[in-house]
Amino acid sequence: HEGTRYEINANMSSTSQGHNTEEETECSFERGTRQDTHAVIKYITATFLEVKPGFCASPAITESTATAVEVLVFGEIYDYVYDEIVEETKQKDSNLYLKIEMFLKNKFSKHEAQKEDSSLFLDEESCEYKSYLECIEDNISNEALNTLRMLPEAHCIADKLMYCVDFLEHIAKRFHDSNDDDCNKKDDHKRSAVTICADSLLKMVCQHIVVAGVPNINAEISFLEEFARDEQLLRGIKGYALITIQASLHFMNASSNFDLDIFYDET
């Protein structure tokens, strides 16, 4: 109920003001929307399970109930929560996309020079660098790009995690398809049993992040870090997907040379 919700927030605010130091109050203000959101989700879920004890009958039903509450809450306040996270990760995302922009410009300039100085063929549809890069990079999956670009459209944890899982699955499929093509070219009649290693997967995730151009990608993953529940992450593939993208972003944020660190092929 609206009255209950405002009462909860008012009580939380008055408690914080009564006990926090000036520094703690400033930090609390910066995270205020997220703190209130955690409290509201917890309160509504606990109240609902108390009123309807049948929804505690099994872990699966309880999990579905918690997810439904999150969908309802974020349906009302997602923009406020997300904007707070975007503000917190603004510098990190700004630095990342500056590096991506510089990498794309440098790579495009090199290919334009090759185009002028040699007989390298480029069709008219490849004039824009992003399209050109998608055409020439063997590791790039259009399905994975489209899935990653849907991440900002999702406004609840379950949907964002689903896109993360689908994103990795499309990348893995692209890896195996490319590997099978290589075997066929070599007239190898044995089906490839090669699995993608963690380093190769991380590298391919980074490549897709560069090409996809998803705005505020650090904020997107920070949102999941903040609100994804242990019950969701402990289900294997969802937790693995989030950790993999986290590691890839950390690597990209720390990298000073995308050409060498991400796109360099030792083979």
> Whole-angstrom Cα distance, residue 171 to residue 159?
19
Q: What is the DSSP letter of 156?
A: S
Interval 203-228: pLDDT, tens: 999 999 999 999 999 999 999 999 99
Residue closest to 262 by CA, chosen among 132, 128, 100: 100
How many of the other CB atoms lie within 10 Å of CB of 89? 18
How far is the CA of 67 from the CAs of 62, 135, 236, in angstroms?
9, 39, 18
Say if residue 28's pLDDT is above 50.
Answer: no
Q: What angle do CA 239, 82, 161 make, to 5 degrees?
A: 20
Helices vs. strands in the chain: H and E counts, helices first: 13, 0
State what percent of residues in the chain have pLDDT above 70.
69
**What is the torsional sign of CA 254, 146, 94, 109?**
positive
First-to-final CA distance of the chain: 61
The dihedral formed by the CA atoms of 68, 12, 80 and 247, expressed in degrees to the nearest 10: -70
Interval 41-92: pLDDT, tens: 999 999 989 998 888 888 888 888 999 999 999 999 999 999 999 999 999 9
Q: Which helix (H) or strand (E) holds 232?
A: helix 230-233
Q: Where are the alpha helices (DSSP H) in 52-197?
A: 59-88, 90-117, 129-136, 142-149, 157-185
> Whole-angstrom Cα distance, residue 152 to residue 170?
18
Say if residue 160's pLDDT is above 70.
Answer: yes
pLDDT band for position 265 (50/70/90)?
low
Interval 92-123: pLDDT, tens: 999 999 999 988 888 766 555 555 544 433 34
How many Cα atoms are found within 13 Å in the side-chain-facing hemisphere of 6?
Answer: 2
Cβ atoms of 37 and 83 closer than 8 Å: no
> Whole-angstrom Cα distance, residue 209 to residue 204?
9
Tell me the three state secondary structure of residue 44: helix
> Whole-angstrom Cα distance, residue 64 to residue 202?
31
Q: What is the pLDDT of residue 124?
A: 37
pTM to 2 decimal places: 0.74
> Whole-angstrom Cα distance, residue 27 to residue 153?
29
